[in-house]
Structures are given as C-alpha cells and as structure tokens.
Amino acid sequence: MTTLLGAAEIREIAARIGVNPTKKLGQNFVVDANTCRRIVKVADVQSDDVALEIGPGLGSLTLALLEIANSVIAIEIDPRLAVELPLTVQAHGFEVERLTVLNEDALTTQSLPAEPTILVANLPYNVSVPVLLHFLEKFPTIRSGVVMVQSEVADRLVARPGSKTYGSPSVKATWWADLSGAGNVARQVFWPIPNVDSSLVRFIRHHAAGSESERLITFTVIDAAFAQRRKMLRSALSQVFSGAAEDAIVKAGIDPTARGETLLLRDFIAIANTLEQ
Ligand code: SAM
C-alpha cells in the first residue's frame, strides 16, 4: 500500500525546492493524511472518475485522490510545485501516467486534456469563489465535487435567502448546482496554520437554469442587486438598468421595494427575462 504525505515530508520537500508558503497564493498545505482521505470520501470519488484538482500544492490531496480515482488533472500556478508534483507521485508508488499537471492560473483555464467528472480541491482562498464559478461554467462534465474554502466563504456559498450571508456567490452557484455544507476542518491540519477557519462544501450539478444569454443578463441583475444590498431592488437595479428596472421588477411579479437578499435565483431570472423583452 502506498502512503500519503505527512508533516515531516511536506516540510522537507518545500525546503528542498525552496518553497516558503506565501499568503498571496493561499499556500496552506494539508499535513494530515486522514483529512485528505476524508475529503476524498466525502466527495464520493469513484475508481472511474477523472478527478480535477485546483491548487495541488505539494500533493497531499493529489495522492489521496490517486488512491481511488483512475486519473487526476491538477492545475497549479506555482511552477516549482507543478514540476515537483509528478516526482512526489512517483516516489509514493503511483503510476505517474495517471496524473496530468497543468502549470497555469486556474482562473484562465479554457481547456483540459480530458473531461473531468469530479472536482476535489483545497482551493486557494483568495480566489476560491471565482475559481469555483469558472469551473462550473466552463466544464459541464464535472458532475459533482467537494471544495475546501474559508468557513465564511462556505457559509456564503450555501446560504439561503434572508440570511445575512446570502449574496451573489450563493445565487450564482445555484445556476449550475445544489450546494451544501460538508463539515469543518481544524486549523491544525495545515502548514502553516492559517488564521481563518476552513470548511468543506459539496456540490451536485443539475441542469443549468437557462441559456448562456439568459445567464449573462441574470448575473448582471444579481450583481446590481447585491452591489447595494441595503437598497430596495428598484433603486439598486436602476443604477444599471435605469428607468426599465422598476417596470421589469413589477412585471416579473416581484415587489420592487424588496431587497435582493430575499430573492431566489428564479426571481432574478424572472426579472432578467422581462428586462430582455
Ligand atoms: N491542495 C494542497 C493541499 O491541500 O495541501 C494545497 C492547497 S493551498 C490552500 C492552494 C494551492 O493553490 C497552492 O498550491 C497555490 O500555489 C495554488 N494556487 C494559488 N492560486 C492559484 C491559481 N490561481 N491557479 C492555480 N493554483 C493556484
């Protein structure tokens, strides 16, 4: 049986390749193998999965994914980590052919060498929401996944209307998927220990809520509504859609004095559709 990475080996590799973890790239590496196996289990990774990992770092989660999934595609922005990853995979007894590493900024990824079926990642925290939305949008073969994010971001992603944390990430993500909380992860499993808490979010894709042109206008409405979340809808939307806003809200059957934080995705879609007419 192969072994996963532990704390000592992680520090040894980082020192050898000259990686001093930076906040800028959200480099907090998981040093606990049980946590990595737990994430893979919560994600329900299967042997025939093509797993996509964003930000593999030194490979803690990558090795846990390779224990189950047939193949893994890993996107890492830091060239030193991207070069080292296949060597670590090989040193741990996995067939290196099962891993493809792309050294690029995940926010700009437009194509992948194979169609991913599942996304499992400890996301770089400063870009976690845009990265998640980007991959939901661009890669429809991803059926489900689990991402680790800062706990406050996890709360925002799974929030329902009316809650203080409900906002544009919550609504936008539901265009493609159902999201739910999947537990917390202790700070002590990271090196270096972050000064924020972390949580897992699970998602399962459903049919997209509409066409691409409907999505673009709906997202513009969502952005306008939450740019000024304390304002009534008619006033928040008039900043972007001027005079047409109030009419569209009323025609969509929504109270124009309501606030964006009380609306479901289908309400934003209804407003977007009437605006388009
Ligand atoms: N998966 C590893 C683990 O759990 O130990 C590392 C996770 S660490 C929180 C985030 C990783 O994402 C780092 O390796 C960092 O270099 C990488 N990263 C940061 N920004 C990125 C981006 N825009 N695209 C791809 N990788 C990125």
Q: Do 242 and 152 fall into the same domain? A: no
Q: Do 164 and 251 fall into the same domain? A: no
pLDDT (average), residues 32-60 = 98
Determine how β-strand 118-122 pairs with β-strand 144-150.
parallel
Q: Do 79 and 156 fall into the same domain? A: yes
| Ligand 1 pocket, residue 30 CB under 6 Å | yes
Of 205, 232, 266, at which residue does a domain stop? 205
Residue nearest to atom 17 of ligand 1 (CA): 55
| Ligand 1 pocket, residue 57 CB under 6 Å | yes
Q: Percentage of residues in the chain with pLDDT exceeding 70?
A: 99
Q: Do 189 and 230 fall into the same domain? A: no
Each residue of 174-199: pLDDT tens digit? 999 999 999 999 999 999 999 999 99
User: Helix, strand or coil for residue 72?
Assistant: strand
Query: Does residue 168 surpass a pLDDT of 90?
Result: yes
2 domain-assigned: no
92 domain-assigned: yes
CATH number of the CATH domain containing 21 = 3.40.50.150
Distance CA(267)–CA(103), nearest Å, equals: 40
67 domain-assigned: yes
Using only the alpha carbons of the chain, give its radius of gyration. Answer: 20
The number of folded domains in the chain is 2
Q: How far is the CA of 244 from the centre of ligand 1 (A)?
A: 43
Q: Do 143 and 246 fall into the same domain? A: no
Each residue of 59-103: pLDDT tens digit? 999 999 999 999 999 999 999 999 999 999 999 999 999 999 999
Q: Do 93 and 217 fall into the same domain? A: no
Q: How far is the CA of 258 from the centre of ligand 1 (A)?
A: 39
Distance CA(70)–CA(47), nearest Å, equals: 5
- Facing residues of 253 across strands? none
Q: Do 195 and 225 fall into the same domain? A: no
Q: How far is the CA of 161 from the centre of ligand 1 (A)?
A: 31
User: Helix, strand or coil for residue 54?
Assistant: strand
Q: Do 106 and 128 fall into the same domain? A: yes
Distance CA(241)–CA(235), nearest Å, equals: 10
Contact 118, 142 (CB under 8 A): yes
- Average pLDDT of the chain? 96
Domain residues for the domain of 118 are 7-205
Q: Do 137 and 39 fall into the same domain? A: yes
Which residues, including other chains, have CB under 8 Å from residue 21's CB and lie 6 or more apart? 14, 27, 28, 29, 191, 192
Band of residue 1 on the pLDDT scale cut at 50, 70, 90: very low
Each residue of 120-162: pLDDT tens digit? 999 999 999 999 999 999 999 999 999 999 999 999 999 999 9
